[in-house]
A and B are shown apart, each in its own frame.
Chain A
Amino acid sequence: MIEIEELTYCYPNSIDPSLKNISLTVEKGKFILIMGSTGAGKTTFSLCLNGLIPQLLEGNLTGQVSVAGKNVGKTKVQVLSKVLGLVQQDPETQIIGRTVEEDTAFGPRNFLIPFEEIKQIVNQTLEKVRLKGYNHRLTEELSGGEKQRLAIAGVLVMEPEILVLDEPTSELDPIGRSEIYATLDDLRWKKDLTILLVEHSIEELVHKVDEVVVLNQGEVVWRGVPTELFRNIPLLLQWGIKPLPVSQIGWDFYEKGWISFAEIPLDIPSGEDMIRTLLPKYRHRHTNTNMNTCADTHSQGLALGLAQGHTPGQRKDLISPQKLHLPKKEIVVQVSDLIYQYNSDQPVLRGVNLTIEAGEFVALIGQNGAGKTTLAKHFNGLLKPTRGEVIVGGRNILQCDTSDLSKTIGYVFQNPDHQIFSVTVEKELEFGLKNAGFRGEEIKERVDEVLQYTGLDRYRSVHPYSLGKGERQMIAVASILVLKPKVLIIDEPTTGSDWAGVQTMMALIRKLHAAGTTIIMISHDMDLVAQYAKRVIVIKEGDILLEGTPQDVFSKEQILLDSAIIPPQLCRLSFRLKDILGDVTFIESSEFTAMFEREKRGCL
């Protein structure tokens, strides 16, 4: 189906090629996963497949790409689109029509397919992506997940033989994500589609894909069956791909020589089996909780070069951390009976009550549209309560301005491109300080400090938009940090980042937290939430559904499922091991390995 020979491509305005010497063949009906760190060239590669490179983007292309027997360089993109459909990264800009039906019909209309026939295939396609009956809905009013489905429908309706999807689930809640994958899997079997999928997370995909291709700095560095790759943890770490938590445990045992490579588990049932077989043999005799956890600390230290003072053992205490230091904590955010309503009829927040103390690390989770962002925007006064009260740092937000609050409450939004506007990184950081009334030396000192702290020093006088998205994300955080806020709100700080980027960002956040900053994080990545947050708040339909330590919250699997949350893999593993673990929920792989005997050796 796809044959690529010696493909090398260089963007017109860059010196180094973004793709180097790629040779690849893909057979019909395969499901291929393309992985790699940020900037590896995944998007560039997918653009080469449908001819947008070199037909729309110029630049220097050598080598041959042919798709279904057509030479991509010589066939018009529009003609190729009948064979190969590309779903791009951002659903928002791919939706061209005003209504769902109009948008889906866009492709076939260009091919002058008769009106009646269009109606029919539009309906069929909408049904396939589970948007049946949405025909006359305005595209603008769709939710994130629906938009992502519509983007797929717009391409599917042209009945391509090959479907290429570039991170189609980046902003979805866990259930939304697995629904999209289920749809893809379905299509593949029913329609005999060839699928190429670019994706950062692999948990649900392990058993669905036939083959994985890893790109690194524009080159194909690995290619083979997924099980081979996902068991090989060091390889994954080397390319900045997030390993599966269960296989991380398995790798540890493999290193000890307890299991073979092929026995490293890739899903929960096999993880359970492994633990059940190994436990009688190697059970740790003393239940020492304060065990050092090499594997975990090590991998983070590697990405960052920092040591961290946090020991996971502490987290296992059944008494929650706040209770230990209860008396002296000041309250930073106090929300009482908060009701908020946008212009429409239904309130989005329905009577939220919440107290956040200084020094906490709180995670807000919940499905798309639950009201997490709406709630967090009250904390810095961007939204004012329709009813109820929000007191931040002792001040009622009704009485203060967002720009005044910005000195104590930092809010990092998801998309860094909404705020970066200066010509250099340095100037970008100065902006907030100037607004806050700082002058001269003070500004310089703070900027220097934060540039060091975030590792952006080398980009000091570079144009922010010549950097990658990950770095821009960091600039956005840095531009808030210069204000030295006491509370930091981060709204989905890691969407679309690769694993290394996530680690850098989270390490920075943890460092800030250790220095006393109160952190409020919104995220759809349950692994991160479990790993970093001290308190988890689940929002559902504008109200708090659950609240507690990650262990507590994630052990309520059934309730969570109703609000579209799937607990992290390790939590689910520990439910299955309830008979052994009792009521304890483990959230880090090191906690599992700690149950076992340890050999006398240093860290990995």
Chain B
Amino acid sequence: MLIEYLPGDSLLHRLDVRTKVLGFLVFIILSFLFQDPKFQLLLVLSTGLLAFWIKIPLRKIWGMLLPLIPIILSIILITGFSFAPERFDRVSSQAILFYALPGDRLGATLGGFLMGTTFIFRLFSMMLASTVLTLTTSIDDFTQFFHKMKVPVEVSMMLTTAIRFIPTLDKKRRQILEAQKARGTKFNQKGIIGSIRSYLPIMVPLFINSIMMANSLSMAMLNRGYGLTRTWTSMREISFAPRDYWAMTFVLLLLILGAYLRFGLDLGIL
């Protein structure tokens, strides 16, 4: 139940975190550069390829997509109707497909629908890219990354400690749930008030236990010398390998190519 890491030995796993983060940033810039769904589709496909390469379980992707379906639908519909023709540069995009209400009101523009599709593709490809990044990078690597980015030690300490305590608190959550169930708490009360009444007996002990846990954690950390100095011995140094330089060069070339297509050739807008 930690942040998931998919152990493996692909190139993506072996690349330095910094390279991967750079690649990720470039990817985001690219995806915001283009409005045309065709270009977005290209990005979706390329991230899909990466995902396929590291063998992401399909079940996982579905798990992430399913809850988003209502939002996806509403995005397509409402964007279609709400983007007025004047907002598009291209004439073709200004075309009105049909009117939702009689008397030529609330027209659905072609560009609107295309824009909606772009939103969705963008969401989807970024989702894949984020997953690929997190799945191929271990927590230790991220900690190292924070360290290299000169994030204050307190912040990276706080985050690693938080991650360490997720399973512990999750166990507490289960224990509390069981204890309250054994007292006959019902979790199916109706309405917002009902939900609050059902879940207070879980949340209050969780808060209380967390406060107590934080108190003894702070004692334990001081006890073991934490905070004596602002740095500490690193257990592992990350370093760039030749493959990292190659990968970075490739990523930057992609960025330049993207910028040229968009601004030089004026492609990819609606």
Q: Which residues of A contact B (CB under 8 A)?
A: 47, 50, 52, 55-56, 76-79, 81-82, 85-86, 88-90, 92-98, 102, 105-115, 118, 139-140, 154-155, 158, 377, 380, 382, 402-404, 406-407, 410-411, 413, 415, 417-421, 431-432, 435-436, 465, 479-480, 483
Contacts and interface: CB of A to CB of B under 8 A. Distances in A.
A109 B219 contact: no
A139 to B, nearest CB: 8
Interface majority SS on B: helix, strand, loop or mixed? helix
B219 A47 contact: yes
B259 interface: no
B164 A417 contact: no
Interface string B198-224: 001100110011001100111111111
B161 A96 contact: yes
B199 to A, nearest CB: 11
A76 B200 CA distance: 40
B233 A113 contact: yes
Closest 5 pairs between A and B when the two form their complex, measured CB to CB? A421-B204, A406-B184, A110-B225, A435-B184, A78-B228
B233 A109 contact: yes
A106 B226 contact: yes
B158 to A, nearest CB: 12
Nearest to A85: B223
Contact of A81 (B185, B212, B222, B231): B222
B228 A111 contact: yes
A77 B232 contact: no
A115 B237 CA distance: 11
Interface in B168-208: 168, 172, 175-176, 178-186, 200-201, 204-205, 208
Interface string B146-180: 00000000000000110110011000100110111
Contacts of A78: 222, 225-228
A483 B225 contact: no
Q: What interface size band does chain B fall in?
A: 35 or more
Of listed B208, B226, B229, B233, residue having the most chain A CB within 10 A: B233
B229 A112 contact: yes
Interface of B: 139, 160-161, 163-164, 167-168, 172, 175-176, 178-186, 200-201, 204-205, 208-209, 212-213, 216-229, 231-235
B101 to A, nearest CB: 50
Of residues B182, B204, B218, which shows the largest number of chain A Cβ atoms within 10 Å of its Cβ? B182
B205 A107 contact: no
Given A107-B224, A431-B183, 12 more contacts: A88-B220, A93-B213, A96-B164, A403-B181, A403-B186, A407-B184, A417-B209, A418-B209, A420-B205, A435-B183, A435-B186, A479-B183
A129 B226 CA distance: 22
Nearest to A409: B182
Given A115-B234, A158-B225, A88 B176 contact: no
B226 A413 contact: no
A112 B226 contact: no
Contacts of A380: 182
Given A110-B229, A407-B184, A382 B178 contact: yes
A115 B235 contact: yes
Nearest to B183: A432
Contacts of A407: 184
A144 B87 CA distance: 64
B204 A108 contact: no
A140 B168 contact: yes
Nearest to A383: B178
A380 B178 CA distance: 10
A449 to B, nearest CB: 18
A142 to B, nearest CB: 11
A108 B228 CA distance: 11
Nearest to B237: A115
A118 B161 CA distance: 20
Contact of A406 (B183, B219, B228, B229): B183
Contact of B205 (A93, A97, A418): A418
Taking each of A77, A82, A102, A432, which has the highest tally of chain B beta carbons within 10 Å of its own beta carbon? Answer: A77
B69 to A, nearest CB: 28
A77 B208 CA distance: 26
A95 B180 CA distance: 27
A114 B225 CA distance: 15
Contacts of A86: 219, 223
A421 B178 contact: no
Nearest to A104: B224
Contacts of A479: 183
A465 B212 CA distance: 11
A480 B233 contact: no
B184 A432 contact: yes
A110 B224 contact: yes
A377 B174 CA distance: 13
A96 B223 contact: no
B203 to A, nearest CB: 8
A93 B226 contact: no
Given A110-B232, A420-B205, A382 B181 contact: yes
A155 B225 CA distance: 10
Contact of A115 (B180, B217, B233): B233
A118 B222 contact: no
A480 B181 CA distance: 12
A413 B218 CA distance: 27
Given A109-B235, A110-B224, A112-B232, A417 B208 contact: yes
A404 B234 CA distance: 54
Given A86-B223, A110-B228, A413 B233 contact: no
Given A106-B224, A115-B233, A377-B178, A52 B201 contact: no
10 contacts: A81-B223, A88-B223, A96-B220, A112-B229, A115-B235, A155-B223, A402-B182, A407-B184, A415-B175, A417-B208
A109 B218 CA distance: 17
Nearest to A410: B182
Contacts of B228: 76, 78-79, 110-111
A403 B184 contact: yes
Contacts of B181: 382, 402-403, 406
A82 B184 contact: no
Contacts of B172: 418
Nearest to B202: A421
A234 B54 CA distance: 71
A245 B67 CA distance: 62
A220 B168 CA distance: 37
Contacts of A107: 224-225
Contacts of B232: 109-110, 112
A600 B255 CA distance: 102
B213 A112 contact: no
